[in-house]
Structures are given as structure tokens and as C-alpha cells.
Structure 1
Amino acid sequence: MRTGLSRTMAFCLLSGVAIFGADASRAQAIAIEFGVAPQHSAGDLSKRWTPVFQYLSRKTGYDVRFRTGQDVPTYQRQCIDGKYDMIYINPYHYANLIRPKSGYEAFAQEKGGKLVGAVVVRKDSPYRTLRDLQGKNFAFPGRTAIVATLMPLAAFRASGTSVQEHYVSSHESAFHAVAKGLYDGGGGDMKTLNNMKPELRDQLRVLWTATPLPPLVFAAHPRVPKQVVRRVQAAMIAMDHDPAAVRLLQSLDFKGIVAARDSDYDAVRKLKLEVPRH
């Protein structure tokens, strides 16, 4: 809600409402649109994240709202345009695209998390190496998806392999398409694969994995006041000490959430990856 947050802030400043005090009912005047990267279907994302944001709403007194894009490219464009007040996004997009163009700044990340890309094939397929996929139909979730597209494509090029590129809407949909036999292989991240239903996951075999990257980043748009960011950050960091919140973290396959800063992603900035043009 690009304008909603700004209007609320202006009203509070003009009327003298103390929105950062202990009175949660007054803090409720702040609505935060929190964008989540579409690694899963919108329905699955909502099921996982809406309870988390409801918890954060209770703890901060703000109205924290779940939002996502219809696919990875759409979500990236929305982040560049500053559509969301806070975002959860992959580290490469954050460091090399979103941070420079729209100013979002990292404030938290998954505790002990890593982002690991994978190439998968059906378990009953004959493919054993990347080169076995020469000329085959391959599903990617988006042209700029770091661990699901850019890193696998770099690995294919390094092995002298070219594949027929097909783009679907999410990491999860790429895995589903391979499991159904629609494509010979697909790219996605290991966390998404591990969170799939066993009956689908068990139809797949991991052929290749990428060098681990830092986890996805929680970042705030520069229009969001620092006091608001600190309040949300504190509530997120405290979740693994609250039994009720631990269950919510488990639904995300998180052990916890820790503070993050922009420099945590400097190593990602050094990656030189080619984005498909066609």
C-alpha cells in the first residue's frame, strides 16, 4: 500500500497521535503491505504466511498484510516500483536489482538459512548428469530466478549443454510440471522441494545442486519509518522464544529469524550471472 502508509503517517503527525508508544491500539493506525516472493502458489503462500503476519500484527499493533505477485517477474517489477512496504525476496534480486533501484534495505533473514538451487528430473528418468539433458525441455520459474534459473543455466553452459527453456510461474510449479512428465527437468530451490507433498516430492530426483547462497532477505522500503522497521524486526526475532510462534516458524521451515544488514549480501553482489534475453 504505497500511499496508505504515507497517508497514515501524515495523519498521525498532524493530529499528534503517538503511534510508537506502548498503546498498541494507536499503533494499529499503521498498515504494512508485506510482499512475499511467489516461490509457491498464491494459495499455499497465503496459508503459510497469513498466520505469521496476523501474529506480527498482534505483537506490533500494526496491521501487517500478506501480499504476493502472480509470478516471479511480476513480483520483481512490483518491488522495483516500490509497491510493498516490506518484502521477502531472494538475495540476488535484493542486492543487484531491488536495493539499487528502489532502496529497500535488509533488516532480517532466516536463522541459519541457506538458499540452494537444484536441478531435478523424474526419479524414473534415465538422466544422470547435466549433459544428459542436452536439447531436452526444461522448466524454469522465471528468467531472473537466481538459484532456479541463472545458476542452473550457468552450470549448463559450463558443461557445454543447452536445453529448451520453458518458463512457468513459480519454483513449485516447475517441480510439479517435472513430476507430471511435462518437462524433462526443472529448476527450483531445495527448501521448496523439501516442503512439497511427499507423494509429489518422491517422484523427483535431484540431479545437481548449486553453491549455497545467503537466505532470502526481509527488507523495508525507505518510506517506512525506522521506528516501524525496528518494531517489526524485534517481533520477528523474538518468535523462536514464543511456543505459539515456533509453530508458525515451523510452517515456513524456519528455525528462527535474526537481524540482517545490507552488507550481509555483498558476496551475492560479486556473482556474475547472465540473464536470458529471449
Structure 2
Amino acid sequence: MKFVLSFFILFYININAKDIVFGVVPQQSPHVLLTKWLPITKELSKISGYNIIFKTESSITKFEKELYEGKYDIAYMNPYHFVIANKLKGYNAVARSKKSIQGIVLGTKKMLLNKKSIQGSTFLFPAPKAFAATLLTKYELKKKFGIDIDKNSKVLYVNSHDSVYKGLARNIGDFGGGIVRTFNNMKDKEVKNKVSILYKTSKYPSHPIAINPKLPENVQKKLKTSIFKISTETFKKLNIPNIIQISNDEYKSVKQLAIELNIY
């Protein structure tokens, strides 16, 4: 309890004119994310001259609420989050990993993924609008097997990718949705011994770093140039070996998918 209180006191401090709030989607626990992202925010602070404050939430749903209200000055979000944040608040995508994002369906190593096994089974997902882990996997399983997961299976939302993987290892669910990167990053040996990837979705542009246009233009420009001065070694700690410059147009395919799913 002491750690939790300290965590939120640390990141809900008062901000002055030079403080920039960097929101990160909670695919993993706040403690894990803090460990991984603190080197990024520290280096970005040093390069830009602004005080970059790391912030995440206890669930993806809470992160979405804060993002869609424009609470973050800069944020790392999933592709679906971006098209909505761009629509609602005008966030502009500036950088992403060169790697594409790919959803995965997982299960214990004894499970088979087919029409019969899906029917009536329990699926674990991190959040209703997690792009690759939830939206893509549901969409492609429906195309592949003709089964609507929400109507023909039991769905549980468990807040993070790590919670999906651990839940499967502990037999809380039969199948679960995630992405290749977070599963590869999972260090828990129990999970890796019990859970395996059963299906991979099509590839889409990966999570962008996007900037809120409410910031003064000179601040936006400084943040953008500073991101590309962060060392490759620092980004590698996030399993992002190559970061590339992007624009909003890169996410047209994601927007089209959201329109098709009637969630845009």
C-alpha cells in the first residue's frame, strides 16, 4: 500500500509551465512500465530541457478516458487509441517502432484453436478497445471461424497484457489476446512453460508516440526533434530497436478497420 501511495504522489505532482506529462498505455503493470520508461523520460528531459513526467493508469480503460480528454501532453498509445485521440483532440503521430504490430491468440500448450474449442470457451482480453490484443483478434477469429466471440464465448477483461498471460497459465481462461512484443517480454517462467501462441493476426502500424496540439508550436517541435535524439540503446530497453518518423496518414488502415467495426 505504501508503494502504491508513493507512486501516485510521485506522478500527480503539481506541474509548472515547463513540465510535460508523458502518458503510457498500461499494457503491463505500472511498476514494470515505470522501470522501462523512466530511462526514456529522463533522457527526453535532458535533451529537450523540459521536465518530462511519466504517467500511466491502473487500467487501459482509465488511460483511454484521460487520453480522450486530452490530459497527456505526449503519449504512447495503441493504433486505435490514436485514431480516436486524433479525431477528438487532434493528437499528431510523430514516431513509432519500425516493427509492425501483430495480435496473437494464446492458450495453454494443450489447447487447440478451432471452431469447436472456441464455442462456449472463456477468453481473456486486456481491455475492450485494446487494438491488436482485442479488436484485431476478435475480428480475425470471426472471419476465420465465423464465430462472434462476444456472443458465443465468455469474455473477461483483465486490465493488462501480462494479466492475460498469467490468467491463462493459472487456468482462469481458455484463450486470450495479446501482442507478440509483450508476450516475448514476459519474464515469468511459469507462464512461458504453460502458454503458447496459437494464432497471429495480420500486421498493422505499431503504437505511435503522439503529441497534443494544445502545446505551443515551439514546444511540439522541440519534443519531436528530441525524441529522435534519444539513444538507440535506451529504446532497445523497450524492445523498440528502430524508431521511425511518421505522420497521421500512416494510420488510415486502422481508421478504416475501426469504421468497419462501427467503433470510430
Q: TM-score, normalised by structure 1?
A: 0.82
The question of 1:252 aligning with 2:238 is answered: yes
User: In structure 1, what is the Cα distance between the partners aligned to 2:166 and 2:115?
Assistant: 20
Please, what is the CA RMSD of the aligned residues? 1.9
TM-aligned CA distance change 1:227 to 1:137, over 3 Å? same
Amino acid at match of 1:31: D
**Which residue of the partner structure matches residue 208 of structure 2?**
217
User: In structure 1, what is the Cα distance between the partners aligned to 2:167 and 2:129?
Assistant: 19
Amino acid at match of 1:216: H
> How far apart are 1:98 and its partner, in Å?
1.0
TM-aligned CA distance change 1:103 to 1:129, over 3 Å? same
> How far apart are 1:130 and its partner, in Å?
5.3
* Selected match of 2:50 from 38, 62, 84: 62
User: In structure 2, what is the Cα distance between the partners aligned to 1:168 and 1:224?
Assistant: 34
The question of 1:89 aligning with 2:77 is answered: yes
**Which residue of the partner structure matches residue 137 of structure 2?**
152
**Which residue of the partner structure matches residue 202 of structure 1?**
193
User: In structure 2, what is the Cα distance between the partners aligned to 1:250 and 1:231?
Assistant: 22
> How far apart are 1:265 and its partner, in Å?
1.0
SS at match of 1:186: strand
Return 5+ residue gaps in structure 1 as ranges.
9-29, 240-244
Contact 1:237 1:256 in 2 (8 A): no
TM-aligned CA distance change 1:196 to 1:51, over 3 Å? same
User: In structure 2, what is the Cα distance between the partners aligned to 1:192 and 1:230?
Assistant: 30
SS at match of 1:238: coil
The question of 1:72 aligning with 2:52 is answered: no
**Which residue of the partner structure matches residue 159 of structure 2?**
169
Identity percentage of aligned residues: 28
User: In structure 1, what is the Cα distance between the partners aligned to 2:116 and 2:86?
Assistant: 36
Deviations 1:96-154 (A, max 9, x none): x11111111111112x221110000011x232435422111110111111111112222
Amino acid at match of 2:142: R
Deviations 1:215-253 (A, max 9, x none): 1011111111222222222222123xxxxx333212100
TM-aligned CA distance change 1:108 to 1:130, over 3 Å? farther
Q: Which has the larger radius of gyration?
A: 1
TM-aligned CA distance change 1:56 to 1:130, over 3 Å? farther
TM-aligned CA distance change 1:267 to 1:128, over 3 Å? closer
**Which residue of the partner structure matches residue 178 of structure 2?**
188
Contact 1:32 1:63 in 2 (8 A): yes
Report how many aligned residue pairs link the two structures: 244
The question of 1:45 aligning with 2:33 is answered: yes
Moved more, 56-65 or 157-166: 157-166
Deviations 1:162-209 (A, max 9, x none): 321111111121111111211111101111001111612232111111
**Which residue of the partner structure matches residue 87 of structure 2?**
100
TM-aligned CA distance change 1:206 to 1:49, over 3 Å? same
TM-aligned CA distance change 1:128 to 1:213, over 3 Å? same
TM-aligned CA distance change 1:226 to 1:130, over 3 Å? farther
Contact 2:93 2:209 in 1 (8 A): yes
Report matched runs for 1:3-18 at 5 Å.
8=17
The question of 1:31 aligning with 2:27 is answered: no
Q: TM-score, normalised by structure 2?
A: 0.86
TM-aligned CA distance change 1:130 to 1:190, over 3 Å? farther
The question of 1:119 aligning with 2:110 is answered: no
**Which residue of the partner structure matches residue 20 of structure 1?**
none
Contact 1:236 1:257 in 2 (8 A): no
> How far apart are 1:157 and its partner, in Å?
2.5
Contact 1:172 1:192 in 2 (8 A): yes
